[in-house]
Amino acid sequence: MNHDVLLDRIERLELRLRAVEDEQEISQLVAAYGPLVDAGEAEMVADLWTEDGIYDVDEISMAGRDQIRAMVRSKNHQGWIAGGCAHFLGPVRVQVTGDEAVAVCHSLMIVNQGGAFEEAPEFVVRRATAHHFEVVRTAEGWRVAKRTSRVLDGRDEAPALLVRGAKGEPA
Amino acid sequence: MNHDVLLDRIERLELRLRAVEDEQEISQLVAAYGPLVDAGEAEMVADLWTEDGIYDVDEISMAGRDQIRAMVRSKNHQGWIAGGCAHFLGPVRVQVTGDEAVAVCHSLMIVNQGGAFEEAPEFVVRRATAHHFEVVRTAEGWRVAKRTSRVLDGRDEAPALLVRGAKGEPA
Amino acid sequence: MNHDVLLDRIERLELRLRAVEDEQEISQLVAAYGPLVDAGEAEMVADLWTEDGIYDVDEISMAGRDQIRAMVRSKNHQGWIAGGCAHFLGPVRVQVTGDEAVAVCHSLMIVNQGGAFEEAPEFVVRRATAHHFEVVRTAEGWRVAKRTSRVLDGRDEAPALLVRGAKGEPA
């Protein structure tokens, strides 16, 4: 066995490891969203996106980190936190192609419509949502270039997002 | 340091990396189920299983991809999608032994019993379920050989599945 | 290309792979909790913690494996299992620093307040919770040194835990 054979094996390991790292980093990127948004950490939420990243939800479409920060700081969002709220995202299915990737998952938004837990809390599922992420490799790591989210209330757009996400296609 | 020492380190890296890849691939296999089934993608759902794979749920036991496809295309399942539905699976605990593995997780089936989100949606938890997966390595990658699912309504079978899954034992 | 160059690439692969393994192992540690606790497996639940590990929840703070086992075997917890229960934890965001790590996730505790699934089940969200994990590398693998959990009912402690978890800070 010579040098070139060893080098070849090392190179294949490097490629495989990078694929594993990419998927893990993208999963971690998405896993950070729920805790950060429910903590009201506007800066860190926005930093999950690229500078001009898009977050397109049913009621609102945000373009750029400023608009994402504004959503987190909005009276509306702060009201959810004050009452008790979980943006609970599931594990993502990820498909990476070079410096781009598509990820897909569900989320549940759980809100407390009642009082303190020891008294009369009332946790309800406000919405179940389909999420499609287009992520890109940047100098700072993977970031969300575009997130498209549609409520799973029977509208056709939501299952359509899921299938495009599962196939690794753009939204 | 000589050649053999380098080779030994490379071989150990290859084994460790394969273990990491296996677990990641199995996690991804399971993570694909929810988005695909809620999108009604019968072909892609069935392809998560081996050709003769089994999907054994409380109400119905399916054997082979044809029966799984038929479930996805059934009036019943299409009705869930039409009303709004999320088959929300949690992160799997995976244990790999060579070319076989066992994975376990919970799921929640969330259905919209009301109307459109902007009007009067009503998302409820229809069921919480224990899932036990027996997966196998095939030429096309990891596939589900047998998935056993029991509702967590107090029946003994459901916790029994969870513990066998967590121990890496067959269902 | 000489020996030292190959060795350097191997060493970098070893470091990167260890980082990937660490995060995967910690994710798996957390993913085991729900299935084990809903199966009532007191020994295996307690073994997710270090011998003197802490589990600090709103209603109860446990110190050491004996107290964690006692919680799983308590009449209270066994009652949840008997009625039907899912401790459904989401994917963790993990940050590793050497032999210590911080992980954060949400959970939903789903309980069946009705009867058997075929008759009149009634699955409700009893609580949504923020979880902060301090985990440590031990001779037996990663174990929970301290888990801090607060209900997301509007109390300030819960979002505060989420942000400390997301930043990789102690609870």
Q: Is the pLDDT of residue A97 over 90?
A: yes
Rounded CA-CA distance C76/C126 in Å is 14
- Residue C74's φ and ψ, nearest 5 degrees, are -65, 155
pLDDT averaged over chain B? 97
Q: Looking at chain C, which residue has its C-alpha nearest residue B159? A: C39
- Inspect the interface and report whether the beta carbons of B117 and A91 lie closer than 8 Å: no
Q: Residue A7: its chain C contacts at CB < 8 A?
A: 1, 6
Q: In 3D, which of C162, C159, C168 has the Cα closest to residue C134? A: C168
| Distances, alpha carbon A16 to alpha carbons A102, B158, C17, in Å | 19, 37, 11
Rounded CA-CA distance B32/B34 in Å is 6
In tens, the pLDDT along C70-89 reads 999 999 999 999 999 999 99
- Inspect the interface and report whether the beta carbons of A90 and B89 lie closer than 8 Å: yes
Structure confidence at residue C3 (pLDDT) = 85
Q: By three-state DSSP, how is residue A102 classified?
A: strand
Q: Is the pLDDT of residue B8 over 60?
A: yes
In tens, the pLDDT along A122-169 reads 999 999 999 999 999 999 999 999 999 999 999 999 999 999 999 999
Residue B115 Cα to chain centre, angstroms: 29
- Is residue C49 a contact partner of residue C65, using CB atoms and an 8 Å limit? yes
Structure confidence at residue C18 (pLDDT) = 98
Using pLDDT thresholds of 50, 70 and 90, give the confidence band for residue C51.
very high
Q: What is the DSSP letter of B165?
A: H
- Residues A109, A115, A117, A120: is their CA dihedral positive or negative? negative
Instruction: Work out the average pLDDT over B138-144.
Output: 97
Instruction: Work out the average pLDDT over B145-165.
Output: 98
Three-class HEC string of C60-127: CEEECHHHHHHHHHCHHHHHHHHHCEEEEECCCEEEEECCEEEEEEEEEEEEECCCCCCCCCCEEEEE
In tens, the pLDDT along C91-116 reads 999 999 999 999 999 999 999 999 99
Structure confidence at residue B59 (pLDDT) = 87
Q: Is the pLDDT of residue C1 over 60?
A: no
Rounded CA-CA distance A141/A163 in Å is 26
Q: Residue C26: its chain B contacts at CB < 8 A?
A: none
Any chain C CB within 8 A of the CB of A60? no
Structure confidence at residue B3 (pLDDT) = 85
Q: Is the pLDDT of residue A80 over 90?
A: yes
Any chain A CB within 8 A of the CB of C137? no
Any chain A CB within 8 A of the CB of C90? yes
Q: Which residue in C153, C157, C164 has the most chain A C-beta atoms within 10 A of its own C-beta, making it the best mutation to test that interface?
A: C153
pTM as predicted: 0.98
Which of A 97-116 lie inside 8 A of C, CB atoms?
108, 110, 112, 115-116
Residues C95-99: contacts with CB under 8 Å, at least 24 apart: C95/C168, C96/C19, C96/C22, C96/C23, C96/C26, C97/C168, C98/C137, C99/C136, C99/C137
CA distance B112 to chain A (A): 6
| Torsion-angle region of B129 (φ positive above 0: left; ψ -120 to 50: alpha; else: beta) | beta
| Distances, alpha carbon C151 to alpha carbons A23, B152, C126, C155, C162, in Å | 31, 22, 10, 8, 11
**Residue A104: which residues within 8 A CB-CB, separation 6 or more?**
A92, A93, A130, A131, A132, A133, A161, A162, A164, A165, A166, B35
In tens, the pLDDT along A66-78 reads 999 999 999 999 9
Q: Is the pLDDT of residue A1 over 80?
A: no
Element (H, E) at A90: none
Rounded CA-CA distance C60/A43 in Å is 34
Give the DSSP per-residue string, B37-56. Answer: HHTT-HHHHHTTEEEEEEEE
Q: Residue B151: its chain C contacts at CB < 8 A?
A: 84, 117, 121
Q: Looking at chain C, which residue has its C-alpha nearest residue B107? A: C88
Any chain C CB within 8 A of the CB of A168? no
CA distance A36 to chain B (A): 19
Q: Is the pLDDT of residue C63 over 80?
A: yes
Of the candidate ranges A68-77, B1-10, B20-29, C29-38, the one whose mean pLDDT is the lowest: B1-10
pLDDT averaged over chain A? 97
Structure confidence at residue B1 (pLDDT) = 54
Q: Is the pLDDT of residue B108 over 60?
A: yes
Q: Where are the alpha helices (DSSP H) in chain B?
A: 3-38, 42-46, 65-73, 75-83, 157-167
CA distance A155 to chain B (A): 7
Any chain C CB within 8 A of the CB of B70? no
Structure confidence at residue A2 (pLDDT) = 79
**Percentage of residues in chain B with pLDDT exceeding 90?**
97
Nearest CB among C38, C110, C116 relative to B108 is that of: C110
**Residue A67: which residues within 8 A CB-CB, separation 6 or more?**
A55
CA distance C110 to chain A (A): 10
CA distance B124 to chain A (A): 7
- Is residue B68 a contact partner of residue B55, using CB atoms and an 8 Å limit? yes
Using pLDDT thresholds of 50, 70 and 90, give the confidence band for residue A63.
very high
Residues in chain A, total: 171
Q: Is the pLDDT of residue C163 over 70?
A: yes
Q: Looking at chain A, which residue has its C-alpha nearest residue C12? A: A14
Q: Is the pLDDT of residue B2 over 70?
A: yes
Half-sphere CA count of B136, side-chain side, radius 13 A: 12
- Is residue B132 a contact partner of residue B161, using CB atoms and an 8 Å limit? yes
Q: Is the pLDDT of residue C132 over 60?
A: yes
| Torsion-angle region of B141 (φ positive above 0: left; ψ -120 to 50: alpha; else: beta) | left
In tens, the pLDDT along B46-75 reads 999 999 999 999 989 999 999 999 999 999
